[in-house]
Amino acid sequence: MSNDRWWRGAVIYQIYPRSFLDTNADGVGDLPGIVDKLDYVAGLGVDAIWVSPFFKSPMADFGYDIADYRDVDPLFGTLADFDRLLDKAHSLGLRVMIDQVLSHTSDQHEWFRESRQGRDNPRADWYVWADPREDGSPPNNWMSIFGGVAWRWEPRREQYYLHNFLTSQPDLNFHNPEVQQAALDNLQFWLDRGVDGFRLDAINFCFHDRALRDNPPKPKALRTGRGFSADNPYAYQYHWYNNTQAENLPFLERVRALLDRYPGATTLGEISAEDSLATMAEYVTDTRLHMGYSFELLVDDFSAAYIRGTVQRLEQQMTGGWPCWAISNHDVERAVSRWGGPNPPPQLGPMLVALVGSLRGSVCLYQGEELGLPEADVPYADLQDPYGVTFWPNYKGRDGCRTPMPWSSAADAGFSPARPWLPIPAAHRALDVARQAARADSTLSLARRFLAWRRAQPALVEGDIRFLDAPEPVLAFVREGAGQRLLVAFNLSDAAVHWRTDALAGTVAATGHGLPGGQVDGGGLSLPPYGAYYATWS
């Protein structure tokens, strides 16, 4: 635990607490449940865990609406439970990162309760308040990601407040220095408690345009983005003014200065902007964020050209920063379904773990990704996500990737003796941890083997990347660093392919990664469906 640069090339396992393990029979996972399963997590061969929000919250957005940044919601346990989690994780060699939602709070937070009372209280300027137009309408045309206008009327102040997400998630006014300091103080509270870093939610949303200028319209053909389609008015605009403002940069430098006082502490910023890769390059530097990730690989396009182009564009722009790649998380359809269709083949799951683990950068693996879990089809009657309820049936929300972990073949899948907060589908029960742990060829066993092998390959952990010319559906590149050079190739299709190339000259197939490999002949490389190939130079 002494390496201050542990995060470079690290594999970070995301835990969504309410769906991990329930220990008090209320149908919702909790912090003691995470403690109980930390041995399993450590056994995967990951370096750290990222724990999604567990703070006091009315749970309108399942914890991303925080009412108290410094306490644990009773739904998940207590501060003492979190301290036990820290101690157990550190004893297993796991770092602990936690979510921090800086840009907004719950409307139940004491700051907002005070701020909304009037225009002359000590926190009157802690949130983004604005007068109506002459006709009483909102001050500008900004839209909320979760649907509708981004402004809510407050009769006590006779003003509107900004909410980029739910109406119950008012945006903080980071132009106020007191707000910035309060956010830094909350980070310090957890650093002093022993956390190893933060995943910073929606970090480019902290600042808004002071002049409240209208966002310009976006052409219909370009109305796409994270989790929303053309029927969501949020997609109708270029979001130039409600987020990603220049004032955010010096604030990120203050965040970095704080973390630099805690050796080994790191930051991972979630960035969703009009040009997310350019914003990542701007935000991830030696004086700002340690790492950043965007939604560029959390999309439907699974072509070699798209993945190569995305990584190359970031490499060209982020010359001094360090990326972090994710293909699944709690906000998007699970990768094996997104890229493998309604009946994804079993070999796709382990190949995807290897693919994201072979790109230059750190890695976020989302719970269940190591099992190859497909997206769950949650009936409308069982939906919990307000985003999905609003946009059903065109967009079914995020519940399908948030269903509970299947631990065993027991009737409750080993998750909870009570009715779980979301149903566990039959397809997930057939992929439970216990069943997969008993099979050497399961996604879980192959993922464990690959992650153990990856840890011993310096070129994969922190080496450079150089892509090779290869036809679809072959993605091929070279990773090189610390005296090692690896050739890596993936078949991104469900049919066998042959890559005619002389790039393999002088290479020797690498062993130990456990993945279905390719066969080299005089003319090139044959790859099985969703196959992977690794080789070193002799």
d(CA 353, CA 150): 37
- Indicate if 342 and 417 belong to the same structural domain: yes
Asked if the structure places residue 200 within a domain, the reply is: yes
Q: How many domains does the chain have?
A: 2
With a cut of 80, say whether residue 43 has pLDDT above it: yes
Q: What is the CA radius of gyration of the chain?
A: 23
d(CA 89, CA 212): 45
pLDDT in tens, 407-428: 999 999 999 999 999 999 999 9
- Indicate if 424 and 470 belong to the same structural domain: no
Asked if the structure places residue 123 within a domain, the reply is: no
- Indicate if 373 and 299 belong to the same structural domain: yes
In terms of Cα–Cα distance, which of 487, 476, 486, 482 is closest to 462?
Answer: 482
Mean per-residue pLDDT, 280-302: 95
Q: Annotate 84-112 with b (16+ C-beta within 10 A) or e (fewer).
A: bbbebbeeeebbbbbbbbbbbbbbbbebb
- pLDDT interval class at 483 (50, 70, 90): very high
**DSSP three-state, residue 136:** coil
Q: Give the end of a domain, one of 403, 427, 454.
A: 454
Mean per-residue pLDDT, 109-131: 98
Q: Give the end of a domain, one of 454, 487, 507.
A: 454
| pLDDT above 90: percentage of residues in the chain | 92
Q: Give the end of a domain, one of 454, 482, 504.
A: 454
- Among the listed ranges 54-68, 229-243, 492-506, which one has the minimum average pLDDT value? 229-243
With a cut of 70, say whether residue 487 has pLDDT above it: yes
Give, for 500, the enclosing helix (H) or strand (E): strand 497-500
Q: What CATH number is given to the structural domain containing 500? A: 2.60.40.1180
Mean per-residue pLDDT, 300-328: 96
- Indicate if 527 and 405 belong to the same structural domain: no
State the DSSP string of 464-484.
Answer: EEEE----TTEEEEEEEETTE
pLDDT at 395: 86
pLDDT at 294: 87
pLDDT in tens, 379-393: 999 999 998 898 888
pLDDT at 1: 44
- Indicate if 476 and 337 belong to the same structural domain: no
- Indicate if 354 and 488 belong to the same structural domain: no
- Among the listed ranges 38-42, 348-352, 392-396, which one has the minimum average pLDDT value? 392-396
Per the prediction, the chain carries an average pLDDT of 96
d(CA 265, CA 269): 14
Asked if the structure places residue 165 within a domain, the reply is: no
pLDDT in tens, 181-215: 999 999 999 999 999 999 999 999 999 999 999 99
Mean per-residue pLDDT, 469-481: 97
- Indicate if 367 and 482 belong to the same structural domain: no
Distances in whole angstroms, Cα of residue 12 to Cα of each of 8, 47, 83, 462, 508 = 11, 6, 20, 15, 30
Asked if the structure places residue 130 within a domain, the reply is: no
pTM for this entry = 0.97
Check: CB of residue 100 under 8 Å from CB of residue 201: yes
Mean per-residue pLDDT, 299-327: 96
pLDDT in tens, 54-113: 999 999 999 999 999 999 999 999 999 999 999 999 999 999 999 999 999 999 999 999
With a cut of 50, say whether residue 531 has pLDDT above it: yes
pLDDT at 2: 54
Sign of CA dihedral 492, 496, 502, 508: positive
Residue with the two structure tokens 């099985």: 528
Asked if the structure places residue 44 within a domain, the reply is: yes
- Among the listed ranges 48-52, 95-99, 217-221, which one has the minimum average pLDDT value? 217-221
Asked if the structure places residue 1 within a domain, the reply is: no
pLDDT in tens, 163-184: 999 999 999 999 999 999 999 9
- Indicate if 393 and 533 belong to the same structural domain: no
Asked if the structure places residue 157 within a domain, the reply is: no
Q: What CATH number is given to the structural domain containing 286? A: 3.20.20.80
Domain span at residue 68?
11-105+175-454
Mean per-residue pLDDT, 249-266: 98
- Indicate if 267 and 371 belong to the same structural domain: yes
- Indicate if 430 and 487 belong to the same structural domain: no
Asked if the structure places residue 503 within a domain, the reply is: yes
pLDDT at 79: 98
- Indicate if 446 and 467 belong to the same structural domain: no
456 burial (CB, 10 Å; 0-12 / 13-18 / 19+) is exposed
- Indicate if 447 and 474 belong to the same structural domain: no
pLDDT at 227: 52
d(CA 187, CA 191): 6
